[in-house]
Chains A and B, each alone.
Chain A
């Protein structure tokens, strides 16, 4: 995995730019990652991102949109507004976890 810099911090990323080391993520980094894809983080964004991180830590894999909706209580519609077009991948990118691997 290549070493790269984001906002002046050295981190490990994959070829697409997803962080590959869970522990390297910080909130400042998340703000920068969000800005990279045109998203300014609000409280609801943070709620979703914290769930992504907590659930990944607990389960060992990134949650699907359905899990974020059912477990974190953020309606699917809202996820598509907060992280337009591709909520699952965008949330994973900002939260510093891998893209979800499930089909649903």
Chain B
């Protein structure tokens, strides 16, 4: 071996510096809950300030009654590569949900409540939409404990200033 050099030191601090991410979660189905959760978790692991804003059907992800019971429906979803007519049969949603949950668990990904807990523990911020709450007659006590508040669209604009925004 020839003479050696001092080993480089990875740059950890610079990359996340000042970067901010806001993810709008507007869907309440199992398959549409995960993209936001995975991205938020990944952003936090990179030291990026991360906010999740739940609106409309996205409320099912933070409603204590529904958050652990999100469903996947194959109806009208061409990605299942199955005849649409069959997908509408009774029990098909329960079956598809069961299958998807098993696949998710199989690759060691947490269920929605544990995922939200992880995100909150990692310093992520969870917000609920005022208009959706009013429409659905939902109060803060109905929502997952880690939700920091029910805020208006205007409030969201303020807190997401300078952030990159992802709409799901």
Interface on A for B, CB 8 Å cutoff? 2-6, 10-11, 13, 15-18, 36-37, 64-67, 69, 75-77, 80, 84-90, 93, 102-104
Return chain A residues, CB-CB under 8 Å to B4.
3-5, 10
Q: Judging by beta carbons under 8 Å apart, are B108 and A86 in contact?
A: no
Which among A15, A37, A86 has the highest number of chain B CB atoms within 10 Å? Answer: A86
Q: Which of B7, B47, B118 contacts A17 (CB 8 A)?
A: B7
Q: Is B78 located at the chain interface by the 8 A CB criterion? A: no
The residue of chain B having its C-beta at the shortest distance from the C-beta of A5 within the complex is B4
Q: Which of A13, A37, A67 contacts B7 (CB 8 A)?
A: A13
Q: Judging by beta carbons under 8 Å apart, are A75 and B121 in contact?
A: yes
Query: Which 8 A-B pairs give the minimum distances between C-beta atoms?
Result: A85-B47, A4-B7, A76-B121, A17-B8, A16-B10, A36-B9, A13-B7, A77-B121
Q: Judging by beta carbons under 8 Å apart, are B122 and A76 in contact?
A: yes
The interface on chain B, measured as residues whose beta carbon lies within 8 A of the other chain's beta carbons, has a size of: 25
Q: Is B88 located at the chain interface by the 8 A CB criterion? A: no
Interface on B for A, CB 8 Å cutoff? 1, 4-10, 12-13, 16, 38, 41-42, 45-47, 108-110, 115, 118, 121-123
A10–B3 CA distance with the chains assembled, in angstroms: 10
A sample of 13 inter-chain contacts (CB < 8 A) reads A13-B7, A16-B8, A17-B7, A65-B45, A65-B118, A65-B122, A76-B121, A80-B122, A85-B47, A86-B12, A86-B46, A89-B10, A104-B109
Q: Judging by beta carbons under 8 Å apart, are A102 and B108 in contact?
A: yes
Q: Judging by beta carbons under 8 Å apart, are B1 and A3 in contact?
A: yes
